[in-house]
Amino acid sequence: MQNPIARFAPQLTGEYPNQFMDLFNNLNIHEKEDPERIKKMLWGAYSFGSHYHEHQQRQSGRPYFEHCLAVGKILAGWNMDHVTVIGGLLHDTVEDTEVTLPMLEEKFGDDIARLVDGVTKLGDIKFSSRKAKQTGNIMKMLLSVAKDLRVIIIKFADRLHNMKTIRHLSPVKQRRIAIETRDVYSPLAHRLGMATVKWELDDLVFSTLNPAMFKEIDANLKSTFKQRNRYIKEFSKPIKDELAIHGITAKIYGRPKSHSSIYQKMIKRGKEFEEIFDIVAIRIVVDTADQCYLAMGIVHQMFVPIPERFKDFVASPKMNAYQSIHTTVVGPRGRKVEIQIRTHQMEQTAEIGVAAHWRYKEGGQYKAEIDSHMRWLRELVDILQGESSDPSEFMHLLKIDMFNDVIFVLTPAGDLIQLPAGSTPIDFAFQVHTEVGLHCMGAKVNKAIAPLNTKLKNGDAVEIITSQNQTPHYGWLRFAVTSKARNNINRHLRKIRYSESLKLGGEILEKTLRRLKQYELVKQINESYRKLGYKSKNDLHVAIGDGTIMIRDILKKLFPAEVEQISDKVEKIHADDSFINLARGAAKGVKLQGISNLMVTFGKCCSPIPGDELVGFVTRGRGITLHRADCASLPLLDEDSDRIIPVDWDVGKNETFNVKIKVVSQDRSGILKEISEAISSEEVNISSVDLQTRDNIVTAYFVVQVRDIKQLERVKRRISKIKGIDYTERTVRD
């Protein structure tokens, strides 16, 4: 580099670093694109990435950015579009540097930011080998977290390079990563039709996990290489000549077999090296599908085919899009030759599978993202359909991808939890462990404290804060979605309700009889639970406590004669058994789901009336205060959401509720009278009026007694029609 400016701003002088030019020259740019524009973009990413990764090193001691560059080069080698390549260059910036998503978004746009975000999220997932057995599940999760197949492709490039440089890691880490690659990435590569990637990964895994055997096979492959190569040439020459006579230019070459596939064959078929190495594999690549069949005919004319080894994946491609004709013939000196015949395009697809859709051959169309998104989804579903033997599993899968009814979230350890869409941290907690759910106190979503009713999203990392003193609350039922959570909460609440009713029932029995001056009957009643139809004394008390059975009825049944004498007293006590009602918390106008033994009062801050959405707030020691759901004085849900309980209105016909309305109007004579008449005309009583006049403007506060929100609305509408009224509103101001 002669020009010093080039060191800092090569885009000005055109003197870019060699490594950058390497990458750029590898980039397959579509003819419709402007190479200079893409070069600028690529340089932007290159300089950005190398700047932020500066001073970072890999375990090997090499600069960190070399890894990012290698990932970019792998992607370029797969002919991915420049967006994906740039995503590869930047894939570790958010995870490992101070770069944030908004920074990427601003500098490189949504598309690239989303790719990096996806790769970052996948990076948080740790696959335990136990779960790895359910490849289908992991597939679903990867897709739903990744949202974009390109994220997975970048992840594969990342994994491939990490595997290539794995020797620099500690033996323990090497093993863990190799096993994860074997159990997760390799099967996925297969399903996605990424044959070359799978091949490379398998061999890297093999050499990591079984280096001795790998070396042995390697040595054998090398020592037989020359001999085998000579044989391939001898075999191919006449075929090539014959094809040329028919006007077909074919590429014929010996197909290398992976070390791991050789080893698999040795194990599966119990064969020795010699037998396996004796088989030669070649590939014939031609231009068109027709030529594939022509070439096949020529080969079969020249050499005897083994019929049962013939397969036509050109006419009926594999579900992972793989296409090829497979045939095995008997070659010179009786050696078996495995032959694959395919076109150049099939060759590319076999290399990278479904990812081939992001190649530049798609031209300007890759921006039609929705269309391609749907297409790959359909194709993936096809792939999975082909591999899944269980149709119901497939339908489920289809449903998940199409209707998005399932999300995957992560535990702090990186394990995956599958939940129905709309699930909250409560659901997550019970899914992790019943004990975690029962003592769930709060949650962190993506490391930030979040309300327990937060709806979780795909890829969220969730951490549950527990406390031994915490127990489930009725409020949880408002946002628990999974049956596991709901069942557990309900079971726990039933238990609590049972013990509360039990205590209350005993008290009601004793107090009532004491007031009737019949206290001595308590013992007999307690012993007569069977006659009353209960299995135990406790069950009887619970029934009394929750109001299933009245003391009056018990007395009538057990002591009809005695009750006759004191019947007046009994009826009277039940007529005004306010203390029982109070004890049961049967507050006027509301019904509490499941809670019948707490004190209930209306919040003065918001004066709820029927029609308002109600919530009950459990005040320790003072029972429950009812508020409008949107009351400003309610504590923030995230702090105390466990103390918010669902409440329903349950009003009698003639009950009324006080509500305050504010009316602002011009000051003119008779205005107050007109407003009062308007209110009365809706058969609404006025409890109080408060007036202020200033600068010819009247502000009036009316406390009125309404049945419900509808009646209040009618009142407001009527007032607004009065001449000179500025506005009228419900208010909570004192």
124 catalytic residue (yes or no): no
Report CA torsion sign: 590, 594, 597, 601.
negative
* 559, HSE (Cβ side, Cα atoms, 13 Å): 19
Output 155 or 643, the one with its CB closest to Mn ion.
155
Q: How many residues bind Mn ion (CB under 5 A)?
A: 2
In whole angstroms, how close is the CB of 649 to Mn ion at the nearest point?
A: 57
Applying CB under 5 A, which part among 157-165, 528-536, 637-645, 673-681 lies near Mn ion?
157-165
**Judged by CB under 5 A, which stretch of 73-81, 150-158, 304-312, 535-543 contacts Mn ion?**
150-158
Of 15, 96, 667, 674, which is the active-site residue? Answer: 96
Distance CA 238, CA 249 (A): 13
Q: Kindly state the smallest distance separating residue 92's Cβ from Mn ion, in Å.
A: 5
Residue nearest to Mn ion (CB): 158
Q: What is the 3-state secondary structure (H, E, C) of 641-697?
A: HHHEEEEEECCCCCCCEEEEEEEEEECCCCHHHHHHHHHHHCCCEEEEEEEEEECCE
Least distance (Å) from Mn ion to the CB of residue 633? 50
Could you tell me how far CA 722 lies from the centroid of its own chain? 55
Of the residues 117, 158, 379, 427, which one makes contact with Mn ion according to CB under 5 A: 158
154 sits near Mn ion (criterion: CB under 5 A): no
Q: How do strand 336-343 and strand 280-286 relate by DSSP bridges?
A: parallel
Q: How far apart are CA 658 and CA 656, in angstroms?
A: 7
69 or 679: CB nearest Mn ion: 69
Q: Is 95 a catalytic residue?
A: yes
Residue 259 tokens read as 């070390």
Nearer to Mn ion, 157 or 380 (CB): 157
Window 262 to 281, contacts with Mn ion (CB under 5 A): none
Tokens of 642: 């466990």
Distance of CA 171 to the CA centre of its chain: 33
Alpha carbon distances (Å) from 422 to 215, 317, 406, 442, 463: 52, 39, 9, 18, 17
CB of 160 to Mn ion, least distance (A): 10
On the 0-12 / 13-18 / 19+ scale of CB atoms within 10 A, 37 is: exposed
| H-helix segments, 516-536 | 521-527
Bridge partners, 663 (sequence order):
700, 728
| CB closer to Mn ion, 85 vs 443 | 85
Pick the closer one to Mn ion by CB: 58 or 361.
Answer: 58
Among positions 85-114, residues that touch Mn ion (CB under 5 A) are 92
Do 647 and 592 touch, CB atoms closer than 8 A? yes
- Nearest approach in angstroms of CB 25 to Mn ion is 23
CB of 158 to Mn ion, least distance (A): 4
Comparing CB distances to Mn ion, the nearer of 64 and 534 is: 64
C-beta closer to Mn ion: residue 124 or 708: 124
What CA–CA distance (Å, rounded) separates 124 from 257? 34
Q: What share of the chain is helix, strand, coil (3-state, %, to 5)?
A: 55, 15, 30
Cβ 95 to Mn ion, closest distance in Å? 8
Q: Which residues bind Mn ion (CB under 5 A)?
A: 92, 158
Q: Where in the sequence numbering do the catalytic residues fall?
A: 95-96
